[in-house]
């Protein structure tokens, strides 16, 4: 991919996940800059040879691409001073949940090229999933760059309509936490039954990884069939799945994802 100069405004968890993923993929450190008021956050990036600053305006001026990676509730306070910067020839990428393209245009009126992205933290291990959305008028080369940037740290998909961003938040932005919660519950049960913590973790995480890899490597087999293939009638797996059914796993997942979507809509 082309190595444009990218300034990250906000060097928190998500910026770190993307930046470390990019470095791992060979993106040159001298083409990256991180702006964050917190010195301990800046140190993390400086230690990897990345330029750091606490001056958002100066850092944005020198960038070809500005990636906004601050919390949604910080966006207005961060963008108002950035109105001093001419964004008309820059690509602006926002990874903030629930900040619409219209809101970004209102906050930075000179920004003509904007891509909204909903990434997730597995970008840190090059296994991210990002949903992207841009106005149809955005130039193809800028769309391609944004896609390549996120593809360097995982898989990508373009959304047909901006409102789908809420669903992407529930599907991938927030979902690593659902899987961690599930794994945590399994680990706890094993520990309660006398298995040592490390062994319990190994058993759970390797099984989760194996299941995800089987799903990835067999796209022609439905998830239902993958499940059925490890479920003999009247056997041990069937006994466990019957409890999930009885306790309403499907409904619980639906409700949790709906709550995530509703919260995302509320925050917009």
Binding site for ligand NAD (CB under 6 A): 9-15, 35-38, 41, 56, 69-72, 74, 78, 95-97, 118-121, 173
> Least distance (Å) from ligand NAD to the CB of residue 60?
10
> Least distance (Å) from ligand NAD to the CB of residue 224?
28
Question: For ligand NAD, which is the closer residue by CB, 74 or 181?
Answer: 74
Residue nearest to ligand NAD (CB): 12
> Least distance (Å) from ligand NAD to the CB of residue 29?
19
Question: For ligand NAD, which is the closer residue by CB, 229 or 265?
Answer: 265
Question: For ligand NAD, which is the closer residue by CB, 84 or 225?
Answer: 84
Question: For ligand NAD, which is the closer residue by CB, 6 or 69?
Answer: 69
Q: Rounded to an integer, what distance in angstroms lies between the CA atom of residue 55 and that of residue 46?
A: 15
Question: For ligand NAD, which is the closer residue by CB, 7 or 200?
Answer: 7
> Least distance (Å) from ligand NAD to the CB of residue 94?
8
> Least distance (Å) from ligand NAD to the CB of residue 169?
7
- Hey, how many other C-beta atoms are within 10 angstroms of the C-beta on 188? 13
């Amino acid at each position: 991919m082309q190595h444009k100069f990218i300034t990250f405004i906000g060097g928190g968890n998500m910026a770190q996940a993307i930046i470390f993923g990019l470095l791992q993929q060979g993106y040159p450190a001298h083409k990256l800059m991180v702006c964050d008021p917190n010195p301990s956050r800046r140190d993390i990036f400086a230690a990897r040879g990345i330029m750091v600053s606490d001056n958002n305006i100066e850092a944005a001026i020198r960038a070809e691409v500005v990636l906004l990676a601050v919390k949604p509730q910080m966006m207005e306070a961060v963008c108002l001073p950035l109105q001093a910067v001419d964004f008309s020839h820059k690509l602006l990428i926002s990874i903030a949940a629930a900040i619409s393209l219209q809101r970004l245009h209102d906050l930075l009126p000179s920004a003509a090229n904007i891509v909204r992205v909903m990434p997730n933290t597995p970008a840190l291990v090059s296994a991210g999933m990002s949903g992207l959305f841009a106005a149809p008028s955005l130039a193809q080369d800028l769309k391609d760059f944004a896609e390549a940037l996120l593809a360097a740290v995982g898989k990508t998909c373009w959304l047909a309509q901006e409102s789908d961003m809420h669903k992407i938040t529930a599907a991938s932005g927030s979902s690593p936490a659902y899987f961690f919660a599930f794994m945590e519950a399994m680990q706890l049960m094993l520990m309660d039954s006398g298995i040592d913590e490390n062994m319990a973790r190994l058993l759970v995480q390797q099984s989760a990884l194996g299941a995800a890899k089987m799903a990835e490597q067999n796209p022609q087999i439905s998830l239902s069939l993958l499940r059925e293939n490890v479920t003999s009638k009247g056997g041990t797996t069937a006994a466990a799945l019957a409890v999930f059914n009885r306790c309403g796993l499907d409904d619980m997942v639906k409700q949790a994802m709906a709550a995530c979507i509703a919260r995302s809509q509320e925050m917009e």
